């Protein structure tokens, strides 16, 4: 931790930066500090405390409101705990594993004693959390803005639902008899379809530096919406498709109760976290970070900037596609409007607010657009105003997001303790 | 033939809407390097302000917090024989507000802090998406939620020469848009101030050495953008009404027009806008109304892939 | 220096945000409404409660206050056992707080509840309702109804948006709670589409059951060939489909069919296509925004064909958005019209109760009628029997003699769709005016009864 704190200092020591002009490279390095390529223990613990708090809460709507208050209390507690235990010691390692294990355990045990509506909310949290994990890989690690996660969510939903229904569809006058696949088989198909499509649009767009991928994905998501809305023979257009969970089983377990279906979303969230964790620790992840921090330097060191970035984008989109398959069963009704640009903006602010380039950030971000949004519903849409403001302030004050700010704060305290 | 003319003329009018929306976006990108994803909202906000300041509509008054401070209705409409004076007064009052909020404050609080020379554009892209969300939802929550009619400065007159219907608003917007963009092009290319501005944009270091007040020039760019979006709000709103969510579509079409036309040329936005409007209408009339929006989007993707500097832009070396 | 300016700017906005939120949750419509309901209950019991009893203490929780306000009536002796605490019956109201349709629906339901409570409630039980905003978002509305169902309400009153209802009705169905909605999309009461939903009931015509009535009127007006233009969403596609069938059944030929993207701003290509056909009339299925643009464009291109269509074609909001005078002559079929002479007294009472709502429309009436349908059916059953509610309401007829609160005689078919007298409306000098009354179809026998 100590060496990473020194980075901004050594930069400032150059004297090259004017005082009132914060150096941009410097800012980037700060993002790099928090990205240590592992599950940030403090934040995993934080989320597990959320689970703990919720687990002891009474059932029902009133209880759910109280949960968020406890959550913030637990944040304060954890700041204390984590500041007291230095990361790089044996104790620190232990804290990391214990907190990860608590997180998993609490998420697994959480549905006990909860009402169906609460579980609907947490199921959506798990699924959207997975989308944000994928988006965070594209944006936080590969350093590119994709504005198509909602479109990929939609492609995933429709791919999975159509292959699951096994009905005849008509596209451009050609009638195709689709196979009736089991639900679990459609998830990997949805992932692969989304990855292929993202390579197709990302490969040319990533030729030059700049926000081109953002524009291309924006145009792409509008086109996807048009196709979903207009290809009546394929998608039933604006009338949508009902995807009820009645008679829906996975491994013989009835998925109709939201308590059971929550686990499907939760496992997918764990899966995507594992994928990203593995990628970030691999040589590929290190290359990605090098590119994001300074693409010029990376390419001069022989890193194939374009291909690595593209893969980051493709995996992120694939994770969104797989989440789409689950999302369709979660809301039980799919229609093109759910996958419009508005949804992308939600994912986007979740990614940024949670923390770019961290693993725990997406969990916080995902809870912002599902749990916290549900809690704040009494404000009407005012919470969306705050979210917009929050994203702006965050980019200016703390571009590393909530998770990153927390890590930075810990580093700051540790430095004080050390000296 | 009549139908073709009809469709083309109204396509040009719609195109003029896109062009006037796109030009501010292109200007900021060209001269300040700022990619503004809140551009649609930058047009929506002045439109709402014009309506609030210039008419005495009870539905669009003032946002929630102002009644705490004072008067319940600050509309200054002067009812007059058919001429939309109230609208013009609202427009005049909106310009300084827009210059301060959407020009100065935007530059100082976001662009200056997030856009460093030679740096990445992504942080600013993220922040402006947040800004767009903020402005949109703020108007929605604090102001009004339903679309409000917005009168045209050119009135509701129309003519039907030879079976082709042309409305005064269509002609007005095509002419006004061409004049505004032409004047801007003239200002940048032909006046001393404009050339200083361009020089500051192309190479800030050299410009500074040559004694050009770079910071003031960039500020001027943002002020001009604020005036442009106010004009756009005035011209565009009769067609799309004053509404809180107008910015999404407007922003998308502005990006499309600006990128197709060439974002590093102000007149590129003009050509791009007309092209998008006409292509949309032609595909609506002769191909399929279902996919009338798809033509411009496909063209956009194609342009980005093949000719990122735009159809009418000039190629430039991009520094890495 | 710039950082200081930024901080000030942000502090300013934060303060505004907080102040505005504080204000809206203190004096916003939620609390007002809660106070309304509770004060009416207090008036009934004749008990002089301190007025602040019904308002919340923390300024945030707008729900759960109604119970506090209504627990005061000791004077009324309930005829049946009330399903909820303090001799009340709890309803749940999901609605679109950011849309005029949702706000109007809520106002109508509140008006109905006030009237019912003043006349002694349902079987002696005072009605209590908990409102929840769905933000006109289908997914959120599903979550809201799931949460609402856990309150164990007697019925669910809402939603109005078809796109929302079709998503959230499955939650009410699973919880086996009757749901009274204001939506008009045909798919909602189509048993093949809605998974045999016994618990869904409309308060006005669905697109499919209203279609034959309008088409019959068009036949009488001598229309032989018609062009269809509709919006590409749930409302437009569903409505156009229902009318296409009705046209075919009535022998009216269909000419051009044009689909328009939602919120398309330039309709000139479409209008010029319509002008070139040889049809007698144009049938329009748009929402208010497209309708406004369409009227304006038709006036510019100036074709003489009469325009027929759904409610929004002649709605006040559409006329307002169109250029002045351009909507004149358009005709539509409306289930209930607030401006009809029949509803004059009702409208006066409604305006008195909700002076803040400027554009009272069919959604207000729908909400009002919905409350009285619940009352009448419950009184027929003699108890608050949620399980028997659907069977009692299906195929039932409620006349104004039975229950004056339903305003017009109404009968329900086996799917929860309604049949009643309705109106043909024409825009005359910028005002929607009733020009004819269409009798009920009286075909319940064909509709599963």
CATH number of the domain bearing residue A370: 1.10.3470
Chains contacting A (3+ CB pairs below 8 angstroms): B, C
Residues 194-253 of B with CB under 8 A from A: 248, 252
Q: Is A113 on the interface with C (CB under 8 A)?
A: no
Task: State residue C213's pLDDT score.
Answer: 85
Q: Which residue of B has its CA nearest to A229?
A: B290
Q: For residues B56 and C393, which has the higher predicted lDDT (pLDDT)?
A: C393
Cβ within 8 Å, pair C301-B165: yes
Closest approach of chain B CAs to the CA of C12, in angstroms? 12
Ranking A195-199, B249-253, C113-117 by mean pLDDT, the lowest is: B249-253
Residues of chain B contacting C136 with CB distance shorter than 8 Å: none
Task: State residue A322's pLDDT score.
Answer: 95
- Is residue B10, in this structure, part of any structural domain at all? yes
Residues of chain C contacting B145 with CB distance shorter than 8 Å: 98-100
- Is residue C387, in this structure, part of any structural domain at all? yes
pLDDT tens profile C193-235? 788 889 999 988 877 777 888 888 888 888 889 999 998 887 7
Q: Which residue of A has its CA nearest to C133?
A: A380
Q: Which pLDDT band, with edges at 50, 70 and 90, does B319 fall under?
A: very low
- Is residue C24, in this structure, part of any structural domain at all? no
Closest approach of chain A CAs to the CA of B61, in angstroms? 19
Residues 147-176 of C with CB under 8 A from A: 147, 149-151, 163, 166-167, 170
Q: Is A240 on the interface with C (CB under 8 A)?
A: yes
Cβ within 8 Å, pair C234-A238: yes
Q: Which pLDDT band, with edges at 50, 70 and 90, does A320 fall under?
A: very high
Cβ within 8 Å, pair B14-C266: yes
pLDDT tens profile C60-95? 333 433 444 343 444 445 556 788 888 899 999 999
Report the percentage of chain A scoring pLDDT > 90.
19
Secondary structure in 3-state letters for chain A? CHHHHHHHHHHHHCCCCCCCCCCHHHHHHHHHHHCCCCCCHHHHHHHHHHHHHHHHCCCCHHHHHHHHHHHHHHHHHHHHHHHHCCCCCHHHHHHHHHHHHHHHHHHHHCCCCCCHHHHHHHHHHHHHHHHHHHHHHHHHHCCCCCCCHHHHHHHHHHHHHHHHHCCEEEECCEEEECCCCCHHHHHHHHHHHHHHHHHHHHHHHCCCCCCHHHHHHHHHHHHHHHHHHHCHHHHCHHHCEECCCCCCEECCEECCCHHHHHHHHHHHHHHHHHHHHHHHHCHHHHHHHHHHHCHHHHHHCCCCHHHHHHHHHHHHHHHHHHHHHHHHHHHCEECHHHHCHHHHHHHHHHHHHHCCCCCCHHHHHHHHHHHHHHHHHHHCCHHHHHHHHHHHHHHHHCCCHHHHHHHHHHHHHHHHHHC
Cβ within 8 Å, pair B298-A143: no
pLDDT tens profile A41-86? 555 556 555 555 555 444 444 445 445 555 545 544 554 444 445 5
Cβ within 8 Å, pair A332-C170: yes
Q: Are strands B166-167 and A333-334 parallel, antiparallel or unpaired?
A: unpaired
Cβ within 8 Å of residue B161, ≥6 positions away:
none
Closest approach of chain A CAs to the CA of B191, in angstroms? 30
Q: Is A293 on the interface with B (CB under 8 A)?
A: no
Cβ within 8 Å, pair C261-B292: yes
- Is residue B300, in this structure, part of any structural domain at all? yes
Q: Is A56 on the interface with C (CB under 8 A)?
A: no
Write out the residue range of the structural domain in which residue C257 sits.
Answer: 208-334+424-447
Residue B41 has pLDDT above 60, yes or no: yes
Cβ within 8 Å, pair C269-B65: no
Shared domain check, C192 and C291: no
Residue C99 has pLDDT above 80, yes or no: no
Q: Which tokens hold the place of B152?
A: 């045209």
Number of domains in chain A: 1
The minimal CB distance from A388 to the residues B35, B109, B133 is found for B133
Going along C126-280, which residue ranges are E strands? 126-133, 156-157, 179-181, 200-202, 225-231, 253-260
Cβ within 8 Å, pair B129-A348: yes
Cβ within 8 Å, pair B289-C270: yes
Q: For residues C271 and C341, which has the higher predicted lDDT (pLDDT)?
A: C271
Residue range C86-105: mean pLDDT, rounded:
87
The minimal CB distance from A116 to the residues C13, C135, C150 is found for C150
At C157, is the secondary structure helix, strand, or coil? Answer: strand
**Contact in structure between C292 and C322 (CB atoms under 8 Å):** yes
Q: Is C5 on the interface with B (CB under 8 A)?
A: yes
Q: Which residue of A has its CA nearest to C142?
A: A331
List the alpha helices (DSSP H) in C276-418.
Answer: 288-301, 316-321, 344-353, 362-381, 389-393
Q: For residues A213 and C30, which has the higher predicted lDDT (pLDDT)?
A: A213
- Is residue A367, in this structure, part of any structural domain at all? yes
Report the percentage of chain B scoring pLDDT > 70.
87
Residue A10 has pLDDT above 70, yes or no: no
Residue range B146-151: mean pLDDT, rounded:
79
pLDDT tens profile B98-119? 999 999 999 988 888 887 766 6
Report the percentage of chain A scoring pLDDT > 70.
70
- Is residue A175, in this structure, part of any structural domain at all? yes
What's the rounded Cα separation, in Å, for the pair A104 and A106?
A: 6
Residues 215-234 of A with CB under 8 A from C: 229-230
Q: For residues A58 and C270, which has the higher predicted lDDT (pLDDT)?
A: C270
- Is residue C55, in this structure, part of any structural domain at all? no
Q: How far is CA B54 from the centre of its chain?
A: 20
- Is residue A95, in this structure, part of any structural domain at all? no
**Contact in structure between A82 and A95 (CB atoms under 8 Å):** yes
**Contact in structure between A245 and A261 (CB atoms under 8 Å):** yes
Cβ within 8 Å, pair B17-C300: no
What's the rounded Cα separation, in Å, for the pair A162 and A178?
A: 7
Q: Which pLDDT band, with edges at 50, 70 and 90, does C155 fall under?
A: very high
Task: State residue B289's pLDDT score.
Answer: 79
The minimal CB distance from C139 to the residues A115, A331, A377 is found for A331
pLDDT tens profile B194-239? 888 888 877 778 888 888 888 888 899 999 999 999 999 999 888 8
Cβ within 8 Å of residue A310, ≥6 positions away:
A199, A202, A203, A206
Task: State residue B117's pLDDT score.
Answer: 66
What's the rounded Cα separation, in Å, for the pair A160 and C141?
A: 24
Output the DSSP codes for C59-94.
SS--SSHHHHHHTT--S---SS--SBTTTEEEEEEE
Shared domain check, C437 and C289: yes
At C156, is the secondary structure helix, strand, or coil? Answer: strand
Q: Is A331 on the interface with C (CB under 8 A)?
A: yes
> Among A265, A263, A273, A330, which residue's Cα sits nearest to residue A111?
A263
Q: Which pLDDT band, with edges at 50, 70 and 90, does B73 fall under?
A: very low
Q: How many CB atoms lie within 10 A of CB A175?
A: 9
Answer positive or negative: Cα dihedral of C153, C154, C158, C159.
Answer: positive
Shared domain check, C352 and C312: no
The minimal CB distance from A223 to the residues B116, B140, B297 is found for B297
Shared domain check, C433 and C291: yes
Task: State residue C116's pLDDT score.
Answer: 93
How many residues are listed for chain C in this entry? 449
Residues of chain C contacting A382 with CB distance shorter than 8 Å: 17, 20-21, 24
Q: In this complex, how many residue pairs, one in chain A and one in chain C, have their CB atoms less than 8 Å apart?
A: 95
Q: What is the dihedral of CA C311, C316, C322, C327, to 10 degrees?
A: 60
Residue C402 CB-density burial (10 A; 0-12 exposed, 13-18 middle, 19+ buried)? middle
Residues of chain A contacting B134 with CB distance shorter than 8 Å: 385, 388-389, 391-392
Q: Is C23 on the interface with A (CB under 8 A)?
A: no
Q: Which pLDDT band, with edges at 50, 70 and 90, does A392 fall under?
A: confident
Q: How far is CA B66 from the centre of its chain?
A: 27
The minimal CB distance from B147 to the residues C273, C301, C321 is found for C321
Output the DSSP codes for C280-296.
SEEEEE--HHHHHHHHH
- Is residue A339, in this structure, part of any structural domain at all? yes
Closest approach of chain A CAs to the CA of C146, in angstroms? 5
Cβ within 8 Å, pair B68-C19: yes
Shared domain check, C145 and C77: yes
Residues 50-109 of A with CB under 8 A from B: none
Chains contacting C (3+ CB pairs below 8 angstroms): A, B
List the alpha helices (DSSP H) in C87-233.
Answer: 100-118, 138-149, 162-174, 207-220
Owner of token pair 């976290």: A273
- Is residue B314, in this structure, part of any structural domain at all? no
The minimal CB distance from B125 to the residues A27, A214, A385 is found for A214
Q: Is B104 on the interface with A (CB under 8 A)?
A: no
Number of domains in chain C: 2
Residue C312 has pLDDT above 70, yes or no: yes
Shared domain check, C229 and C314: yes
- Is residue C12, in this structure, part of any structural domain at all? no
Q: Which tokens hold the place of B38?
A: 């809140």
- Is residue A290, in this structure, part of any structural domain at all? yes
Shared domain check, C440 and C319: yes
pLDDT tens profile A267-299? 999 999 889 888 888 888 778 777 777 767 777
Residues 362-381 of A with CB under 8 A from B: 380-381
- Is residue C8, in this structure, part of any structural domain at all? no
The minimal CB distance from B255 to the residues A24, A215, A389 is found for A215
- Is residue B100, in this structure, part of any structural domain at all? yes
Closest approach of chain B CAs to the CA of A357, in angstroms? 13
How many residues are listed for chain B in this entry? 320
**Contact in structure between B280 and B296 (CB atoms under 8 Å):** yes
Residue range A335-350: mean pLDDT, rounded:
88
Shared domain check, C170 and C75: yes
Write out the residue range of the structural domain in which residue B10 sits.
Answer: 2-306
Number of domains in chain B: 1
Task: State residue C79's pLDDT score.
Answer: 58
DSSP element (H, E) containing C43: helix C29-45
How high does pLDDT run on average in chain C? 78
- Is residue A287, in this structure, part of any structural domain at all? yes
Residue C390 has pLDDT above 80, yes or no: yes
pLDDT tens profile A402-418? 666 666 776 776 677 67
Candidates B1, B40, B155, B241: best to mutate against C (most CBs of C within 10 A) is B241
What's the rounded Cα separation, in Å, for the pair C39 and C50?
A: 10
- Is residue B317, in this structure, part of any structural domain at all? no
- Is residue C190, in this structure, part of any structural domain at all? yes
Q: For residues C107 and A415, which has the higher predicted lDDT (pLDDT)?
A: C107
Cβ within 8 Å, pair C268-B7: yes
Residues 214-273 of A with CB under 8 A from B: 214-216, 218-220, 222-223, 226, 230
Closest approach of chain B CAs to the CA of A199, in angstroms? 14
Shared domain check, C371 and C243: no
Q: Vertex A184, ends A181 and A186: CA angle to 5°?
A: 55
Q: For residues A1 and C381, which has the higher predicted lDDT (pLDDT)?
A: C381
Residues of chain C contacting A335 with CB distance shorter than 8 Å: 138, 163, 234
Q: Which tokens hold the place of A143?
A: 């350093």
CATH number of the domain bearing residue C263: 3.40.50.2300
């Amino acid at each position: 931790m100590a060496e990473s704190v020194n980075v901004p200092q050594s930069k400032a020591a150059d004297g090259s930066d004017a005082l009132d002009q914060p150096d941009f490279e410097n800012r980037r390095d700060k993002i790099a500090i928090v990205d240590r390529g592992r599950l940030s223990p403090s934040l995993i613990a934080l989320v597990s405390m959320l689970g703990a708090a919720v687990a002891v809460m009474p059932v029902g709507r009133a209880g759910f409101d109280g949960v968020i208050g406890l959550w913030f209390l637990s944040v304060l507690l954890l700041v204390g705990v984590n500041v007291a235990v230095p990361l790089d010691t044996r104790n620190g390692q232990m804290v990391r594993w214990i907190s990860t294990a608590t997180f998993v355990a609490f998420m697994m045990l959480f549905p006990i004693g909860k009402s169906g509506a609460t579980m609907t909310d947490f199921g959506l949290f798990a699924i959207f959390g997975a989308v944000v994990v994928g988006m965070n890989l594209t944006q936080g690690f590969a350093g590119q803005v994709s504005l198509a996660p909602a479109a990929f969510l939609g492609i995933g939903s429709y791919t999975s639902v159509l292959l699951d229904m096994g009905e005849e569809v008509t596209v451009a006058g050609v009638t195709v008899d689709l196979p009736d696949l089991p639900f679990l088989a459609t998830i990997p198909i949805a992932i692969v379809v989304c990855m292929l499509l993202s390579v197709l649009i990302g490969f040319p767009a990533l030729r030059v530096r700049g926000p081109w991928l953002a524009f291309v994905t924006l145009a792409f998501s509008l086109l996807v919406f048009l196709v979903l809305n207009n290809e009546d023979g394929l998608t039933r257009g604006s009338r949508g498709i009902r995807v009820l969970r009645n008679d829906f089983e996975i491994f013989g377990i009835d998925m109709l109760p939201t308590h059971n279906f929550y686990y499907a979303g939760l496992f997918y969230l764990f899966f995507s976290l594992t994928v990203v964790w593995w990628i970030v620790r691999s040589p590929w992840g290190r290359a990605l970070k090098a590119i994001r921090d300074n693409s010029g330097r990376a390419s001069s060191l022989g890193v194939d900037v374009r291909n690595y970035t593209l893969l980051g984008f493709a995996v992120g989109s694939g994770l969104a596609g797989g989440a789409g398959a689950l999302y369709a069963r979660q809301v039980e009704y799919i229609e093109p409007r759910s996958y419009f640009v508005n949804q992308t903006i939600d994912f986007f602010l979740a990614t940024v607010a949670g923390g770019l380039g961290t693993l725990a950030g997406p969990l916080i971000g995902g809870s912002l657009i599902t749990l916290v949004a549900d809690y704040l519903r009494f404000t009407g849409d005012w919470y969306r105003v705050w979210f917009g403001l929050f994203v702006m302030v965050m980019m200016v004050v703390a571009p590393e997001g909530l998770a990153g700010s927390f890590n930075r704060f810990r580093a700051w305290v540790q430095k004080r303790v050390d000296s | 033939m009549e139908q073709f003319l009809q469709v083309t003329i109204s396509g040009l009018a719609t195109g003029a809407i896109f062009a006037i929306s796109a030009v501010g976006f292109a200007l900021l990108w060209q001269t300040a390097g700022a990619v503004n994803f809140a551009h649609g909202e930058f047009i929506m906000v002045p439109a709402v302000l014009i309506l609030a300041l210039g008419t005495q509509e009870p539905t669009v008054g003032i946002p929630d917090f102002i009644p705490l401070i004072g008067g319940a209705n600050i509309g200054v409409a002067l009812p007059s024989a058919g001429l939309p004076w109230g609208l013009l007064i609202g427009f005049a009052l909106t310009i300084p507000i827009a210059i301060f909020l959407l020009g100065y404050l935007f530059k100082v609080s976001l662009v200056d802090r997030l856009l460093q020379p030679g740096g990445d554009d992504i942080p600013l892209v993220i922040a402006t998406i947040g800004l767009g969300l903020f402005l949109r939802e703020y108007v929605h929550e604090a102001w009004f939620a339903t679309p409000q009619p917005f009168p045209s400065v050119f009135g509701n007159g129309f003519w039907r020469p030879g079976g082709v219907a042309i409305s005064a608003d269509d002609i007005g917007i095509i002419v006004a848009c061409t004049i505004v963009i032409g004047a801007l092009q003239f200002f940048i290319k032909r006046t001393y101030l404009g050339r200083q501005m361009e020089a500051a944009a192309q190479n800030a270091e050299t410009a500074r050495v040559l004694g050009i007040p770079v910071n003031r020039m960039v500020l001027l760019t943002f002020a001009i953008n604020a005036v442009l979006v106010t004009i756009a709000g005035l011209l565009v709103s009769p067609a799309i009404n004053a509404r809180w969510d107008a910015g999404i579509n407007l922003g998308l079409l502005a990006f499309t027009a600006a990128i197709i036309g060439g974002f590093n040329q102000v007149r590129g936005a003009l050509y791009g806008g007309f092209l998008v409007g006409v292509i949309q209408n032609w595909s609506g009339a002769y191909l399929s109304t279902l996919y009338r929006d798809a033509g411009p989007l496909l063209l956009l993707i194609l342009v980005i892939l093949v000719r990122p500097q735009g159809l009418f832009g000039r190629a430039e070396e991009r520094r890495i | 220096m710039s950082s200081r300016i930024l901080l000030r700017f942000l502090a300013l906005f934060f303060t505004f945000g907080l102040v505005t939120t504080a204000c809206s949750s203190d004096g916003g419509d939620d609390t007002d409404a809660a106070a309304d309901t509770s004060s009416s209950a207090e008036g009934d019991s004749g008990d002089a409660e301190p007025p602040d009893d019904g308002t919340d203490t923390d300024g945030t929780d707008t729900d759960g206050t109604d119970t506090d306000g209504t627990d005061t009536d000791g004077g009324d002796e309930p005829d049946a056992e009330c399903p909820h605490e303090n001799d009340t019956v709890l309803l749940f109201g999901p609605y679109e707080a950011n849309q005029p349709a949702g706000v109007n629906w809520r106002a109508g339901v509140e008006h109905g509840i006030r009237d019912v409570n003043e006349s002694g409630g349902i079987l002696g039980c005072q009605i209590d309702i908990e409102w929840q905003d769905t933000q006109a978002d289908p997914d959120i509305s599903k979550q809201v109804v799931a949460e609402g169902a856990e309150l164990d309400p007697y019925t669910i009153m809402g939603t109005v948006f078809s796109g929302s209802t079709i998503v959230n009705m499955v939650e009410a169905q699973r919880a086996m709670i009757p749901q009274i909605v204001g939506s008009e999309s045909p798919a909602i009461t189509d048993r093949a589409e809605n998974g045999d939903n016994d618990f869904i009931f409309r308060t006005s015509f669905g697109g499919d059951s209203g279609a034959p009535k309008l088409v019959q009127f068009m036949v009488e007006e001598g229309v032989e060939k018609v062009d269809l233009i509709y919006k590409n969403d749930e409302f437009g596609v569903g409505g156009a489909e229902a009318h296409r069938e009705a046209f075919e059944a009535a022998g009216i030929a269909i000419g051009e069919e044009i689909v328009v993207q939602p919120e398309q701003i330039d309709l000139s290509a479409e209008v010029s296509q319509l002008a070139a056909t040889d049809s007698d009339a144009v049938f329009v299925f748009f929402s208010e925004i497209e309708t406004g643009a369409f009227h304006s464009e038709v006036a510019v291109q100036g074709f003489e064909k009469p325009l027929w269509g759904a409610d929004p074609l002649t709605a006040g909001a559409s006329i307002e958005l169109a250029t002045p005078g351009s909507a004149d002559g358009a005709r539509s079929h409306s289930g209930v019209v607030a401006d009809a002479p029949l509803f004059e007294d009702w409208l006066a009472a409604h305006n008195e109760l909700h002076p803040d709502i400027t554009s009272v429309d069919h959604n207000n009436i729908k909400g009002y009628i919905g409350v009285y349908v619940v009352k009448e059916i419950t009184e027929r059953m003699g108890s608050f029997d949620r399980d028997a509610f659907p069977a009692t309401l299906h195929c039932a007829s409620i006349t104004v003699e039975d229950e004056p609160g339903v305003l017009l005689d109404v009968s329900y078919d086996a799917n929860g769709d309604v049949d009643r007298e309705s109106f043909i409306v024409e825009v005359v000098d910028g005002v929607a005016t009733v020009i004819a009354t269409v009798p009920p179809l009286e075909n319940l026998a064909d509709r599963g009864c």
